[in-house]
Chain A
Amino acid sequence: MGPRDDDEEPSMKYLLLIYMDEAQARAAAAAKPDENKMMPAYTAYTEALKQAGVLLGGERLQFSSNATTVRVANGKNQVLNGPYAETKEQLGGFYMIDVPDLDSALAWAARCPGASHGIMEVRPVWPMVP
Chain B
Amino acid sequence: MTSDLPGPDGARAATEVVARASYGKLVAYLSARTRNVAAAEDALAEAFAAALTDWPRKGIPGKPEAWLLAVARRKEIDAGRRRHTGDAATAELRQIADELAAAAAAPADIPDERLALMFACAHPAIDPAIRAPLILQTILGFDAATIASAFLVAPTTMGQRLVRAKQKISTAGIPFRLPERTDMTERLEAVLDAVYAIYTEGWTDPAGTEARRRDLAEEGIWLGRLMAALLPNEPEALGLLALMLYAEARRGARRNERGEYVPLAEQDTAKWNPGLIAEAEAVLHRSGALGQPGRYQIEAAIQSAHVVRRRAGRSDWAAIERLYDLLWALTRSPVVAINRAVAIAETRGPSAGLLALDSLAADTRLKEYQPYWAARAELLNRSGASDDADRAYEIAIGLEQDPVVRDFLQRRRASARVT
Contact = CB atoms under 8 A, between A and B. Distances in A.
Interface residues of B, number: 24
Given A101-B175, A105-B173, A124-B171, A1 B103 contact: yes
A5 B95 CA distance: 9
B121 to A, nearest CB: 14
Interface in A69-111: 100-103, 105-106
A2 B173 contact: no
A101 B98 CA distance: 25
Contact of B33 (A4, A12, A14, A102): A4
Nearest to A107: B180
Interface in B152-183: 171-175, 179-180, 183
B interface, over-half SS: loop
B109 interface: yes
A27 interface: no
Interface string B298-335: 00000000000000000000000000000000000000
A33 interface: no
Interface in B81-124: 88, 95, 98-99, 102-103, 105-106, 108-111, 123
A45 B234 CA distance: 34
Contact of A103 (B98, B103, B111, B179): B179
B361 interface: no
Given A4-B33, A5-B95, A102 B88 contact: no
Contact of A129 (B88, B98, B108, B175): B88
A2 B102 contact: yes
Contacts of A2: 99, 102, 105-106
B125 interface: yes
A1 B175 contact: no
Interface residues of A, number: 15
B173 A102 contact: yes
A103 B177 CA distance: 10
Nearest to B123: A102
Contacts of A5: 33, 95, 98-99
Contacts of B183: 103
Contacts of B171: 124
A3 to B, nearest CB: 9
A89 B11 CA distance: 61
Contacts of B103: 1
Interface string B261-294: 0000000000000000000000000000000000
Contacts of B105: 2
B106 A101 contact: no
Nearest to B84: A129
Nearest to B171: A124
Q: A-B pairs with the 3 shortest C-beta distances?
A: A2-B102, A101-B175, A12-B173
13 contacts: A1-B102, A1-B106, A1-B110, A2-B105, A5-B98, A14-B173, A100-B175, A101-B173, A101-B175, A102-B174, A102-B175, A103-B175, A129-B88
Given A102-B123, A102-B172, 12 more contacts: A1-B106, A1-B108, A1-B111, A2-B99, A4-B33, A14-B173, A100-B173, A101-B173, A103-B175, A103-B180, A103-B183, A106-B125
